[in-house]
Amino acid sequence: MKHTMVWFGHMTHGTFRIGEDENPIVIVNSIDEKAIMNPDDVEEYMESQGFDSYLALDEFQGDIVFSQTFLKGLTE
């Protein structure tokens, strides 16, 4: 069974368009927990732990952006 790195926390998922191209994007506001787990278990785990959202790194095809709040937290 394949496992993947998953980040749980507060993230905003969406798409953005540049000209004719439309790409998925996720804005990371916080990473509250990281885990290596079976992708089939991610949704259930997220809900049981009360996380807002998640990002499965191996499966996401798009751009990952870190918010200013997240980056500011790294220096405090």
* 59-68 residue pLDDT tens: 899 999 999 9
Q: pLDDT of 36-74, one tens digit each?
A: 999 999 999 999 999 999 999 988 999 999 999 888 878
In this predicted structure, the answer to whether residue 3 has a pLDDT above a threshold of 80 is yes
Q: Could you give the CA distance from residue 43 to residue 55 in angstroms, rounded to a whole number?
A: 11
